[in-house]
Amino acid sequence: MRIAEVYLRQKSKKIDRPFDYRIPDRLVGQVKKGMRVVVPFGKGNKRHEAFVLALKGDSDFGESVKEILEIIDLQPVLSEAQIKLCQFIQRYYGCLFYEALVLFTAPVKSIVTAEGIKAYQESIRYYRLLKDEAVRGSVQKRIMALLRESDISREALVAAAGNTASIRNLEKKRLIESYDEALALSRNMSVPTWEPTESDLYDCLLATNKGKVPLYIRCPKGETRHAFYRRMIEETLQTKEGQLLLIVAENNYITYYRKAFTDLFGTLVSFYHGGLSQKERYRNYQEIAQGHVRVVIGTRSAFFLPFRHLDHILLDEANDPSYAVPHMPKYDIVTLASRWQEDNPHTNVVLLEEVQGIRSVKNIEEKRWQEIPSPENLSQSKIHVVDMMQEMRRGNLDFMSKALRKKLEKNLETGQRTVFLLNATGYANYVFCKECGYVEKCPDCEVSFKYDKANALMYCGYCDQTKEFTGTCPNCHQRKGYGPIGLGIDRLMEILKKRYPEHEVLTLDARDTQNSKAYRLAMEKIQSDWQILIGSSTLLRFFNYPDHIATVGVLLADIELNRGHYTASEQAYRFFNLLRTLTPDVEDVWVQTHQPEHYVLKGLEKPQSYYQEEIAFRKLLRYPPYGNLIQMMIFGKQPKVLLKDAGKLYEWLKEEGLECYRSPNVMRIRGRDQFKTTLMVKTEKLENFHKAMKTIVDKRETYGFTSKVSIDVNPLYG
């Protein structure tokens, strides 16, 4: 075993493959799979960081193999199972191996110096008591008291002391000393004991004859799930070293569980998300790798933490769009978790959904997932589908149907609350001239401008182009007839405030979830005393709704139904159903539409018919999960070059025998001086696409091809 197969930490497709290096005598026995090493690479023997993926006796490259220069890590930073998953990600999502590696090793650093890469591993300084003597200073007393209880990190100690001089002085007096957490660890490892919490779901899980496949539970959010998670955590902590990962859709759920679980389980549970600082990430990484943290509640990035004995992966709300990552590599957590379980049958993967997704239906049908009967049913709130065409024929031209208006006014009288869903931000969707028919459009994206009344601006929903609203048509120069058309949240707010001046009207849209501060403010806003709440799809990202929400009204269901993505109807179906369970109080949901015959709306009353139609539609057009759809985005600085490159790629894919479609449109990218266009490939076997791409990269004249390409394999949400 004198040869190591390594992958370089680099971003070029051309050398995205393993390279052989000899292990020098002095490092024999030390180099292990999953470790990082420094190797000389290329004509100039430049020092490169590389990951050891395999060890073997000899190499096909004979005398030309070079020697590993040094080791970066003392312990592997990637497990065998993680290496396997990296290879899967590279293959399945068509990304660089490096991109997959980064997912798993983001918290692990290396230092780049003038000579190349320097071997380096960050570690956390901890302090411990050496001699327990009385000290005089109050700060020093506090430090001693803290250390008497347990060892503590330098960061925490500095925070408690308020200065670093006191710590230094105590260190000088040899009363305390610091040590490297990577080498020595001390933490309270005793596991508290509980009376196990009751959870019907847990009992169902136990009763199920677990096969070696992911388990699926259809179960509403809220108490039932909470109790189930709690029981699962308790059971995990009773084992010797088992670990549990609970993945939730977003940070706010973490906040919720932190409040609920910290007191119960203390430091055995940690909370992880992408917003942590590098230091915090690193600490979590170490503590989990060393088995000190047994339970992690985190967002999708927590999936890549270095668990040692991962017994359970629980995926909360498995069809939540946030599990599909929008940037390269465009992986999705459900796919990765299922794959993980295939390679690691000892890990128990449990997927939960409130409204069943099409992918789940198929996987259960084909016995790739096993369904566990859920003890609870969905909300019983009533659904009314309102035909707005009929409403119009009857002379009601208002955006609100007579029946919904009646219900709203009844709610206002009886002190009940009403929520409206309107998935259109801003004041109006279009600016239009009735005299000459002119529509204001974004010059780069060819979509109509939206209107922001407060700032007298027109803006593009895709890029960041804006245009001043003058009130005069730039085409026919008339003021009459030129103005905003369509209903946006801001306009609806204005209208409802005018109609019901003595009632409190609130809005909730994407601006309220932009950052944690906005989020916190929005949560307070929701708790305040309001009668009418108007929200975009952002509504479902909150869960602290007050009591007495009697009615939810979807003002324009057509927006959700006609999004043009193949999952639009599935998302709409899920969305409308989730509105029924916004709170347990909801009595009725009103869905206003211009197409009452749409199978999604019919399906709200008869779920079976919805699933039948949806599956038939996917099968007919060979959309996922009944076929593979690859969406490719091509980026570039100049629209002309971009279109030329897209054309080339399109031809190449066609010549490889693939069913390929291209968009003639070029769009500007928000916040950047770049443009994009799209290609789409449909194929029965994903392998055919990967083969074609490999042939293109290897054989074609790709030198003139300067545009960047991102690949989205079976995009779930768009």
Tell me if 19 contacts DNA by CB under 7 A.
yes
Indicate the residue among 15 and 191 with the shorter CB distance to DNA.
15
Q: Using the rule CB under 7 A, which residue among 24, 61, 188, 210 binds DNA?
A: 61
Which 8-state DSSP code applies to residue 277? -
Contact present, 416 and 469 (Cβ < 8 Å): no
Sheet holding 457-459, edge to edge: 450-452, 457-459, 466-468
CA dist 586 → 408, 613, 669 (Å): 13, 28, 40
Q: Using the rule CB under 7 A, which residue among 26, 29, 64, 259 binds DNA?
A: 64
Query: What would the two tokens of residue 73 be?
Result: 């890590």
Report how far Cα 615 is from the mean position of its chain's Cα atoms. 26
Q: Using the rule CB under 7 A, which residue among 59, 370, 595, 678 binds DNA?
A: 59
CA gap 483, 472 in Å, rounded = 8
Indicate the residue among 45 and 544 with the shorter CB distance to DNA.
45
Give residues with Cβ within 8 angstroms of 463, minimum separation 6.
442, 444, 445, 667, 668, 669, 670, 671
* Smallest gap from residue 48 Cβ to DNA (A): 9
Backbone φ, ψ for residue 150 (5° rounding): -165, 165
User: Applying CB under 7 A, which part among 17-25, 216-224, 579-587, 642-650 lies near DNA?
Assistant: 17-25
Q: Using the rule CB under 7 A, which residue among 27, 65, 146, 485 binds DNA?
A: 65
Indicate the residue among 190 and 703 with the shorter CB distance to DNA.
703
Indicate the residue among 29 and 704 with the shorter CB distance to DNA.
704
Tell me if 113 contacts DNA by CB under 7 A.
no
Question: Total binding residues for DNA by CB under 7 A?
Answer: 23
Query: What would the two tokens of residue 83 be?
Result: 């290496």
* Smallest gap from residue 640 Cβ to DNA (A): 18
Tell me if 21 contacts DNA by CB under 7 A.
yes
Indicate the residue among 37 and 686 with the shorter CB distance to DNA.
37
DSSP per-residue string spanning 5-56: EEEES---GGG-S-EEEEPPGGGTTT--TT-EEEEEETTTTEEEEEEEEEEE
* Smallest gap from residue 105 Cβ to DNA (A): 19
Indicate the residue among 96 and 244 with the shorter CB distance to DNA.
96
Q: Using the rule CB under 7 A, which residue among 44, 395, 564, 671 binds DNA?
A: 44
Tell me if 15 contacts DNA by CB under 7 A.
yes
148-187 residues near DNA, rule: CB under 7 A: none
Q: Using the rule CB under 7 A, which residue among 7, 20, 257, 642 binds DNA?
A: 20
- How many other C-beta atoms are found inside a 10 Å radius of the C-beta of residue 537? 18
Q: Which of 591, 253, 614 is nearest to 261 (CA)?
A: 253
User: Applying CB under 7 A, which part among 16-24, 288-296, 351-359, 390-398 lies near DNA?
Assistant: 16-24
Query: What would the two tokens of residue 631 be?
Result: 């969406």
Which stretches within 266-372 are classed as H helix?
278-289, 333-343, 358-365
Tell me if 641 contacts DNA by CB under 7 A.
no
User: Applying CB under 7 A, which part among 14-22, 222-230, 316-324, 562-570 lies near DNA?
Assistant: 14-22
Tell me if 703 contacts DNA by CB under 7 A.
yes
Query: What would the two tokens of residue 385 be?
Result: 């589908």
* Smallest gap from residue 22 Cβ to DNA (A): 7
User: Applying CB under 7 A, which part among 4-12, 376-384, 515-523, 610-618 lies near DNA?
Assistant: 4-12
Query: Residue 657, by phi and psi: left (phi above 0), alpha (psi -120 to 50) or beta?
Result: left
Give residues with Cβ within 8 angstroms of 439, minimum separation 6.
430, 431, 432, 433, 448
Q: Using the rule CB under 7 A, which residue among 1, 24, 28, 45 binds DNA?
A: 45
- SS3 sequence of 183-213: CCCCCCCCCCCCCCCCCHHHHHHHHCCCCCC
* Smallest gap from residue 329 Cβ to DNA (A): 18
Q: Which of 706, 657, 708 is nearest to 681 (CA)?
A: 657
Indicate the residue among 5 and 353 with the shorter CB distance to DNA.
5
Q: Using the rule CB under 7 A, which residue among 36, 38, 41, 603 binds DNA?
A: 41
- How many other C-beta atoms are found inside a 10 Å radius of the C-beta of residue 564? 6
String of b and e for 614-631 (b: at least 16 CB within 10 Å)? Answer: bbebbeeeebbbbbbbbb
State how beta strands 549-554 and 417-421 pair: parallel
Indicate the residue among 11 and 406 with the shorter CB distance to DNA.
11
String of b and e for 197-206 (b: at least 16 CB within 10 Å)? Answer: bebebbebbe
Tell me if 40 contacts DNA by CB under 7 A.
yes
Q: Which of 56, 65, 64 is nearest to 31 (CA)?
A: 56
Query: Residue 5, by phi and psi: left (phi above 0), alpha (psi -120 to 50) or beta?
Result: beta
Query: Residue 367, by phi and psi: left (phi above 0), alpha (psi -120 to 50) or beta?
Result: left
Indicate the residue among 12 and 190 with the shorter CB distance to DNA.
12
Query: What would the two tokens of residue 476 be?
Result: 């026919």
* Smallest gap from residue 545 Cβ to DNA (A): 49
426-485 residues near DNA, rule: CB under 7 A: none
User: Applying CB under 7 A, which part among 12-20, 350-358, 428-436, 657-665 lies near DNA?
Assistant: 12-20
User: Applying CB under 7 A, which part among 39-47, 73-81, 285-293, 440-448 lies near DNA?
Assistant: 39-47
Query: What would the two tokens of residue 608 be?
Result: 């079976």
CA gap 106, 455 in Å, rounded = 41
Indicate the residue among 468 and 701 with the shorter CB distance to DNA.
701
User: Applying CB under 7 A, which part among 64-72, 210-218, 224-232, 435-443 lies near DNA?
Assistant: 64-72
User: Applying CB under 7 A, which part among 37-45, 144-152, 193-201, 530-538 lies near DNA?
Assistant: 37-45
Indicate the residue among 18 and 461 with the shorter CB distance to DNA.
18
Please work out, in degrees rounded to the nearest 5, the angle formed at the alpha carbon of residue 75 by the alpha carbons of 328 and 17.
40
Binding mask 73-112 for DNA (x = CB under 7 A): ----------------------------------------
* Smallest gap from residue 701 Cβ to DNA (A): 7
Indicate the residue among 11 and 477 with the shorter CB distance to DNA.
11
* Smallest gap from residue 668 Cβ to DNA (A): 23
Between helix 607-621 and helix 568-580 the angle, nearest 10°, is 160
User: Applying CB under 7 A, which part among 60-68, 84-92, 420-428, 495-503 lies near DNA?
Assistant: 60-68
* Smallest gap from residue 11 Cβ to DNA (A): 6
DSSP per-residue string spanning 556-570: -HHHHHT-SSTTHHH
Tell me if 10 contacts DNA by CB under 7 A.
yes
* Smallest gap from residue 258 Cβ to DNA (A): 41
* Smallest gap from residue 23 Cβ to DNA (A): 11
CA gap 416, 413 in Å, rounded = 8
Tell me if 46 contacts DNA by CB under 7 A.
yes
User: Applying CB under 7 A, which part among 56-64, 263-271, 288-296, 417-425 lies near DNA?
Assistant: 56-64
User: Applying CB under 7 A, which part among 34-42, 81-89, 179-187, 596-604 lies near DNA?
Assistant: 34-42
Indicate the residue among 118 and 128 with the shorter CB distance to DNA.
118
Residues forming contacts to DNA in the complex (CB under 7 A) are 10-12, 14-15, 18-21, 40-46, 59, 61, 64-66, 701, 703
